[in-house]
Structure 1
Amino acid sequence: MLFRQSGIFHTNYANARSLFPLPADRWMIGLLLAFALTAPFTMSTLVLSTQLLPWLVWTAAVLGLNLILGWTGQFHFGYAAIMGIGAYTAVHGVRNGIPWEIAMVLGGVMAAVIGIVFAFAALRVKGLYLALSTLALQFVMDWVISHVPAISGGTQATLQAPDISLLGQAITSDTGLYYVALGWCLIVTVFMLNLRRTGLGRALIAVREKDFAAAVIGVHSLYYKLVAFATSSFIGGISGAILIFTFYRAATPEQFAVNVSIELLAMVIVGGLGSIIGSYFGAAFILLMPGLMNSLIGWLAQLLGISLGIETLAHIPHAVYGALIIIFLLVEPMGLGKMYTNLRNYLLVWPFGYARK
């Protein structure tokens, strides 16, 4: 089968620590990269700009939230506010003549500063108390963004995002915007893949498992929680800015409300805590599944000759979609990423079923 380990000899630490030691994994990554790079030439513009592009940006945001939730074990119900801070900072920066690349970094830095404010709640409380604290900060940031005209222009205002100018070249086409989103998603993915192999990644996991025990072995939980919140917020801030510049093309307070934070949390949980590939699966499931369910149920109703009212047709897909989430979590509480891992582990020993645990 594809995932055979024959011929792979762990004779040095470099090979043992490689990201993808199995040839099958490298082939799969290569094929996925080839598909991603050629998608503008093989997919329709509608699919590219309304499905693939937002999926990539939201995946980058989910990876950032997974850093604080999956790696460090800290609840965060205010991630949408962090993304909003980065988005508004970057938009104002570009509108005031700052180059787009620098404005992105400024958005990430401002989000990291706000993220450290969120972190101080994590230093005093845990569990549900931390969740409520971050939720309260989300509402505070919602109010600030909505009611400070210097930030959003007002409660009902819409702040238009200028065109992207990357390295002096204006990017206005759907293909160019897609590649911007793809590039950022790949940067975040590579960072997260390497993070778990570093001392920082192991320290974050130690804090997640038991911060008191981590302190005994010399891991300063205060420092690493601050680093985790700042890094996660930096990723979220830039992701929010790229979402505005490439997809929405305008910023409104509703785009970063508390319901968006809940959706991001659902993406992490459905995909799998601490799972990188699960972040891709979770973002795709939460983002794309409702539209697919609407189309599928409408097609089945037409095929079976069933007449469904507009209200019924609007509610049935959401009920089915919610039921699917419950089924997935009942079958595998660790999310879709764990399902993929289980399938991969099965193929590692197939057809020798007795070797399975």
Structure 2
Amino acid sequence: MPRRKIPTAHARTAAEHPDERARLGLNAPALAGEAGESRRLALEAADDLRRLRYERYLADLGADKDDGTLESLAAGGAPRILAEGDSWFDFPFGGDPFERGDVVARLTKLINIKILNFATRGDEARQILGVTQRQRLKKALADPKTNFNVLLFSGGGNDIVGDPMALWIRPREPGMSTRDAIDLPVFEHALGVVRAAYQHLIAIRDRAERDTPGRQIHLVFHQYDFAIPNGKGVCGYGPWLRPALEYHGWHTHPDAHSIVRDLLRRFAGMLDGVAAGAPRVHIVRTQGTLDATDWNDELHPNRSGFGKIAAIFHAELRRLFPDSVKAP
């Protein structure tokens, strides 16, 4: 009998949960192999896209050098920007992999300066600072052809949402307040891994600066605005917030929203702690920017929302490079 084919998202879920395997009528070894193969292909596709973006960026730099644009930008102290991260920097509103509707796509149009974007939707901070992607990032920062002086980074959101979120949400008991809904020791453990990823990123930047005396690289991080746990996913993925909250009895929207806001405020506090005392580390403060109508789903702004977030990044870059990043 031929093996039943199911969407990748379901294959991953079924591979991890025995009851889901039974519901789908699949045996564990076959399913694990299918999910693993899907994951491998997805990683290869992401690597191919990064390589294509890098080649295109270098080609554009060459064209700019030929027509004098590069020298003009360099004379004005323009930023050379590398972006790495998750779906806030890589969100596919359109079908062209080079044309997105996310923060980086919107920011590129605002500042009219090319950005090399390594971000891949779905990536966790621990993946980005793992061996493979870490090596790619270090190589890009060390490349004298690009000589990046800004690294935009979006990471950590995927590390604290989704099914594992059930581990740091407490079951609701009679009379229990939302202030007690988060199991703080468990959540701090999860947040600690994200914190370590950011600290390692700063260390990578510091090493790149030491390797080239006189070089300065600005790191630009961002808060995640207050997502709305409405149960809405996108393209077969998600939801990421509501299931864990409802599983533990937090059914009402005000309660669920309050808990998510608390989680994200703690994430923002972690960022402030990481940045404290570290030179050239900047936090883009987005919390409170988006209205309810600015969200596409539980985690991602819509086009209008990403535009609002990109405008805050623009203001930060303009502060850092006042002579070359112009007002909108």
Structure of greater relative contact order (alpha carbons < 8 Å, 6+ residues apart):
1
TM-score (norm 2): 0.28
Higher helix share: 1
